Amino acid sequence: MEEPARHLLFHGVIILLLALLAGIPYGKAILKKEAERVVFAWRVAHSALTVGAILMFSLVPILSQLNVGLKIMWSIAVLFIVSGYAFSFALYLGPIIGHRGLIYRGSLPAKMVYFGNSIGALTSLLGTFVLLYAAWKTL
C-alpha cells in the first residue's frame, strides 16, 4: 500500500471515530427533547462524517491502482484528509453554538463554522477534480 493511502486510512479512522462520537450528543438531544434544529444538526454531524470516513476508506485501495505519481496521490489524500477535518470542525461546532454555517455572518464562532464548511467543501471538490484527472490518466 502506498504511503498516501496509509495516511488516508489512518485519518479516515479518526474521522469515523468523530462520526460515531457525534452519536452521543445526537442521542442526548433526542432524549432531552431539544429543539428539532439541534437534533437535526447532530444527526447531520453523525451521518455526514460517517459518509466522509467511508469515502476516505473507499479511496484507499484505489490510490495504489492509479497510474500517476506520488505527488498526485498525495494531493488526493491530503485534500480529502483536510476536507474530513474541516467538516468535523464545522459539524461539531455548529450544533454547539447554534449555527449551520451556511452564510458568513454573525458571531466569530458562527463565521468559524462557515469557514470550516467552506474549507471542507472546497477541498473535497478539488480532491474530486484531482481524482478525476488521475482516473483519466489511468485509462
The pLDDT value recorded for residue 102 is: 87
Please tell me whether the overall predicted TM-score, pTM, comes out greater than 0.85 for this model: yes
Nearest to 90 by CA among 132, 44, 126, 50: 44
Kindly state the cell numbers that stand for 54. Answer: 467511508
User: Residue range 80-86: average pLDDT?
Assistant: 99
**Residue 91 and residue 40 in contact, taking contact as beta carbons nearer than 8 Å:** no
Longest dimension (CA), the chain: 53
Answer yes or no: are the C-beta atoms of 23 and 46 closer than 8 Å. yes
**Model pLDDT, residue 125:** 99
pLDDT tens, residue by residue, 14-59 = 999 999 999 999 999 999 999 999 999 999 999 999 999 999 999 9
Q: What does the alpha-carbon distance between residue 34 and residue 122 come to, in Å, rounded to a whole number?
A: 32
What per-residue confidence (pLDDT) applies to 59? 98
Give a three-class secondary structure readout of 21-74.
Answer: HCHHHHHHHHHCCCCHHHHHHHHHHHHHHHHHHHHHHHHHHHHCCCCCCHHHHH
Is the predicted pLDDT of residue 78 greater than 90, yes or no?
Answer: yes
Q: Mind listing the pLDDT tens digit for each residue in 84-130?
A: 999 999 999 999 999 988 889 989 999 999 999 999 999 999 999 99
The three three-digit cell numbers of residue 51, written as one number: 459518509
Give me 57's grid cell.
Answer: 476508506
> 132 pLDDT exceeds 90?
yes
